[in-house]
Structure 1
Amino acid sequence: MRKRSIAAITAAGIGAFGVYLSNRIMFMKLKDPKEIETREREAGFYDPDLYLQMIKKEVRIPSPAGYHIHTVFLEQKPGAPYMIFCHGVTETKINSLKYVSLFMKKGFNAVIYDHRRHGDSGGKSTSYGHFEKNDLKAVVDCLIKEQGESAIFGIHGESMGAVTMLLYAGSVEDRAAFYIADCPFSDLTEQLSFLMSKSPRPALLSKMALSLAGSFIFLRDRYQIRGVSPKKAVGQIEKPVLFIHSRHDGFIPYHMTETLFKMKKGPKRLFLPEEGDHAQSYVKNPEAYSKEVDLFLKEFFYAE
């Protein structure tokens, strides 16, 4: 009787710990949208009045997972190519506006949207690219429906947005003319292991915790975290990819992008700026960033 009680208590404890760990991953605390707007406005990347004056169309795109994706089409020049922007985890589409400005100066129109569970989009959990890649396809489909089958577009992704983009291009459809992957991780399991390695707990405990979290995420959200792996998808991408990653990124190690670059076949470029922490390559190196994009576009896009 006592053994059964101990077993029951142990099972309950493991279950509670599994729920706690999976919650930490599935429901990472989001930034306050108002604080994001304030931060971007103070940095000079978001002007509310200018944004209101821009020619735009807001669309609620149905997600294959059963919610709506809040999307904004920004058109400065009819018939011009488009850039679709995928923001990082805990951010919103407002964070994409600095890149919108950069590419509009280069003659592009833009599409920004909120990932599932972020900003004004629906969805209950974050899956770091697994479900998000299918939402990106829904956004692409909507753009093509609006602009026609001849629509030309590139995709820019930052952090989780870059992972989403690479998974879309390598395992869903390679539909864009080119891709720009800014600071992606190469594999979710490896990324979580890296973050756990920074904690004081022993390595064995971290490995067991990750395995437990993965099991509970599968039970609760029906996907395997080991399947969220851009390095398994990048070899299937035929279109050009520009990989960008700050060397001093303390959240996602830049060597993950080096791995992806090496595994990508065909047309590609690599830019590893010295300045900036995670997702700060453009903020800290705006001129060099813009120049690298120009070189990439000249070699692989305008040359076509």
Structure 2
Amino acid sequence: MKKIVILLGILIGYMATIGMIFTNIVMFMKKKTDDEILERETREGRLTLDEIQSIQKEDITIQSKFGYPIKGWFVKGTEKNRFIIISHGVTQNKLNSIKYMKLFLERDWNVLLYDHRRHGETGGKTTSYGHYEKFDLESVVTWVKKKYGENSTIGIHGESMGAVTTLLYAGMIEDGADFYIVDCPFSDFEAQLKYLLKVDYKIPAPLVLPFANIFLKLRDGYSIKDVSPVSVIQNIKNPVLFIHSAKDDYILPEMTMELYKMKEGPKQMLIAERGKHAYSFADNKEAYEKVIDDFFANYVRD
């Protein structure tokens, strides 16, 4: 009996340790600073400090349903009521979205860049990889429609976690926007975590995920299975442009291919030849711009 109690104590201790370590990594992943993002973007030639300083932007604050302010910039590019909302990836903030902002301003769109919860200037204590973020995106879309009219044309561009957020939002809200551009999303959080545990940590997922999931539910109110774009992709009827780098070894391009296959109705896909994770635009600029122009010509009303 004593041995059983000891073994049970060891098991409980293991579960608690794994659960706490894992959920700390997930919920509080280290973010990049403004200086780190700007240094990278300027060093790699996607923008200059003069461009950043010359942006004619309106600071906006939108209330999250979770009680914190969502901070962003509105940049006017046209008198037309057409808007692109840009949703950045995990550890980044709206400064990372400037390169995409420039792309859409050149194509005669108004652009709204915003910070996800717990990133940049936006409030919120945890990162949830799209679960809670999708509701903040809903608030951003609602803000645009209230301010500029229900008949506004709205597109959403998301990168990495921002792409996951975009798909989860679209699948939840039954096409609250007119179209979506999703760059390097994962198709399913559980599958992504299993892959990272295998590649980065060499740990079998069954030794971690069951316990981690319990602690995630207890600490942040959702489960790993709740973050699954592939489970809602068939709800999305409006056009989706899927983009991924063929050489992405962080989120595999097969995940985007799976989402593309499952998506019903209008869709396009670009598997870019070059680039690591989230570098499809940086390393394939001409192809990236061309597929967006083709997508607009095929599916977006002027």
TM interval, short-chain normalised: over 0.9
Equivalent residue, structure 1, for 2:62? 61
Q: 1:122: how far off?
A: 0.8
Q: 1:172: how far off?
A: 2.4
Equivalent residues of 1:186, 1:259 under 8 A apart: yes
Equivalent residue, structure 2, for 1:75? 76
Task: State the Cα deviation string for residues 34-73 of structure 1 (Å, max 9, x = none).
Answer: 1101211223333344334333211221111221111111
Equivalent residue, structure 2, for 1:118? 119
Equivalent residue, structure 1, for 2:145? 144
Equivalent residues of 1:56, 1:73 under 8 A apart: yes
Consecutive unaligned residues of structure 1, counting only runs of 5 or more, are: none
Equivalent residue, structure 2, for 1:171? 172
Equivalent residues of 2:81, 2:148 under 8 A apart: no
Task: State the Cα deviation string for residues 241-292 of structure 1 (Å, max 9, x = none).
Answer: 0000111001000000000000000000011011011000000000110001
Equivalent residues of 2:175, 2:238 under 8 A apart: yes
Task: State the Cα deviation string for residues 224-257 of structure 1 (Å, max 9, x = none).
Answer: 1111100011101010000001110010000000
Q: 1:201: how far off?
A: 3.5
Matches within 5 A, 1:207-246: 207-246=206-245
Q: Secondary structure at the match of 2:208?
A: helix
Identity %: 44
Equivalent residues of 2:130, 2:161 under 8 A apart: yes
- Matched to 2:64, the amino acid is S
> How many positions carry a matched residue from both structures?
301
- Matched to 2:268, the amino acid is R
Equivalent residues of 1:46, 1:94 under 8 A apart: no
Q: Secondary structure at the match of 1:272?
A: strand
Provide the rounded CA distance (Å) in 1 between the counterparts of 2:174 and 2:118.
23
Q: Specify whether residues 273 and 185 from structure 1 end up closer, same or farther in structure 2 by C-alpha distance, changes over 3 A only.
A: same
Q: Specify whether residues 261 and 120 from structure 1 end up closer, same or farther in structure 2 by C-alpha distance, changes over 3 A only.
A: same
Equivalent residue, structure 2, for 1:278? 277
Q: Secondary structure at the match of 2:272?
A: coil
Q: 1:31: how far off?
A: 1.3
Q: Specify whether residues 202 and 29 from structure 1 end up closer, same or farther in structure 2 by C-alpha distance, changes over 3 A only.
A: closer
Provide the rounded CA distance (Å) in 2 between the counterparts of 1:200 and 1:75.
45
Provide the rounded CA distance (Å) in 1 between the counterparts of 2:282 and 2:102.
13
Q: 1:12: how far off?
A: 3.0
Provide the rounded CA distance (Å) in 1 between the counterparts of 2:291 and 2:77.
23
- Matched to 1:254, the amino acid is P
Q: Normalization by structure 2: what TM-score? A: 0.95
Equivalent residues of 1:55, 1:76 under 8 A apart: no
Equivalent residue, structure 1, for 2:104? 103
Equivalent residues of 2:197, 2:203 under 8 A apart: no
Provide the rounded CA distance (Å) in 2 between the counterparts of 1:256 and 1:144.
32
Equivalent residue, structure 2, for 1:88? 89
Q: Specify whether residues 47 and 142 from structure 1 end up closer, same or farther in structure 2 by C-alpha distance, changes over 3 A only.
A: farther
Q: 1:2: how far off?
A: 4.5
Q: Specify whether residues 202 and 160 from structure 1 end up closer, same or farther in structure 2 by C-alpha distance, changes over 3 A only.
A: closer
Consecutive unaligned residues of structure 2, counting only runs of 5 or more, are: none
Provide the rounded CA distance (Å) in 1 between the counterparts of 2:41 and 2:200.
31
Q: 1:301: how far off?
A: 0.9
